[in-house]
Homo-oligomer: A and B are copies of this chain.
């Protein structure tokens, strides 16, 4: 726990919940009659309501992006490295809104919420949600908060896809889009890894067709395997070599199936921790949202055409050792933006941290990110 709250932290934060009664039409053809969205805000909305920044989370993320919920918290929010007073996303200048997406498992309406029609958890009956659906639900929150136009919509990985979709679907409501460690769509290999994770969950005997809540259990092993496989794709080969190499936990071989290498111990621990804190149905939904994401699909499979409607400025950042969404995937976005004449700033950050780099305190990354956001804040304040 933090002895004291660090000076550059947004401090103790209380999540808020917004309830929506109007049905939300979803891309899958179904609708959510009503839903709750949980979110946090950091900083102050200015009089012109022009300094609001929306943070979109990734696969296993949520609304708690910065600060602490209590003095007992061992760790701050997931993007505390980037959000706070004087940080890249400077809460002295920005009003930051961080949301938990629909389908999530941290308070917003999702598979573990009660389905009003049945009085039981939605489970497998929860509708499939897409990046487009999330953006629409986020727009409703913006309306309620009186935010007509975001100074910036920013996200990493799956969050970057939401930022890109905002720029496409609500061009008048986004001044800047920050697309970090992301891709214009998943590759066959990306989908393949997601499918392994899903199969691990779906075939776990404790999954009970997604109604495990009623059996007072959950697909622990499936979640552990899903996270283990996911985690390998978040780290670079270099980072794993630097972190574990071939180090043995006890210094010698045991010729058995217990942990022998440190990397095995690390992965099992990551998987177990995750399985206790994340809902399996949500994990399934999030991986599908990733698989489905492909804005070009609605524009004759042309990313260029998809981005023609955008009017905002773009910040695109990739990381050299990210092999889940390699720099070349970011360059696809940048090249399409250049082709439609958008103002785009692109940086490829040299690091060994792999895909997870977007969460890490990397001086060059934070400096560059901060410089860009400084410009965004200046623009916002002159509105």
Please give the residue numbers on chain A whose beta carbons come within 8 Å of chain B beta carbons, in ascending order. Answer: 27-29, 127-128, 185-189, 191-193, 195-196, 198-200, 202-203, 205, 221, 224-225, 228-229, 232, 235, 237, 240-241, 243-246, 253, 255-257, 260-261, 263-264, 267-268, 271, 284, 288, 291-292, 294, 323
Contacts of A27 in B (CB 8 A): 255
Partner of A196, one of B192, B228, B245: B228
How far apart sit A127 and B256, CA to CA, in the bound complex (Å)? 9
Q: How far is the CB of A10 from chain B (nearest CB, A)?
A: 35
Q: List 11 A-B contacts (CB under 8 A).
A: A128-B256, A188-B244, A188-B245, A189-B235, A198-B257, A199-B221, A199-B225, A199-B268, A200-B225, A202-B257, A257-B288
Q: Is the CB of B261 within 8 A of A191?
A: yes
By beta carbon, the residue of chain B nearest A263 is: B188
- Additional pairs, 19, CB under 8 Å, beyond known A192-B228, A192-B232, A196-B228: A186-B246, A187-B240, A188-B240, A188-B241, A188-B245, A188-B261, A189-B235, A191-B246, A192-B264, A192-B267, A195-B261, A199-B268, A203-B224, A203-B225, A229-B229, A246-B294, A253-B292, A257-B288, A260-B291
Contacts of A240 in B (CB 8 A): 187-189, 192
Q: How far is the CB of A290 from chain B (nearest CB, A)?
A: 12
Contacts of A271 in B (CB 8 A): 199
If A255-B128, A284-B257 touch, whether A264 touches B195 (CB-CB below 8 Å) is yes
By beta carbon, the residue of chain B nearest A326 is: B237
Q: How far is the CB of A362 from chain B (nearest CB, A)?
A: 21
How far apart sit A229 and B229, CA to CA, in the bound complex (Å)? 8
Partner of A237, one of B189, B221, B260, B288: B189
The residue among A192, A200, A294 with the most chain B CB atoms within 10 A of its own CB is A192
Q: Is the CB of B28 within 8 A of A255?
A: yes
Q: Is the CB of B193 within 8 A of A232?
A: yes
Contacts of A229 in B (CB 8 A): 196, 229
How far apart sit A196 and B246, CA to CA, in the bound complex (Å)? 16
Q: How far is the CB of A90 from chain B (nearest CB, A)?
A: 37
How far apart sit A198 and B257, CA to CA, in the bound complex (Å)? 8
By beta carbon, the residue of chain B nearest A284 is: B257
How far apart sit A33 and B74, CA to CA, in the bound complex (Å)? 55
Contacts of A294 in B (CB 8 A): 246
How far apart sit A268 and B195, CA to CA, in the bound complex (Å)? 9
Contacts of A284 in B (CB 8 A): 257
Contacts of A192 in B (CB 8 A): 228, 232, 240, 263-264, 267
Contacts of A187 in B (CB 8 A): 237, 240-241, 246
Partner of A221, one of B203, B232, B257, B264: B203
Q: Is the CB of B257 within 8 A of A185?
A: no
How far apart sit A232 and B194, CA to CA, in the bound complex (Å)? 11
Contacts of A202 in B (CB 8 A): 257
Q: How far is the CB of A191 from chain B (nearest CB, A)?
A: 5
If A128-B256, A195-B264, A199-B268 touch, whether A232 touches B291 (CB-CB below 8 Å) is no
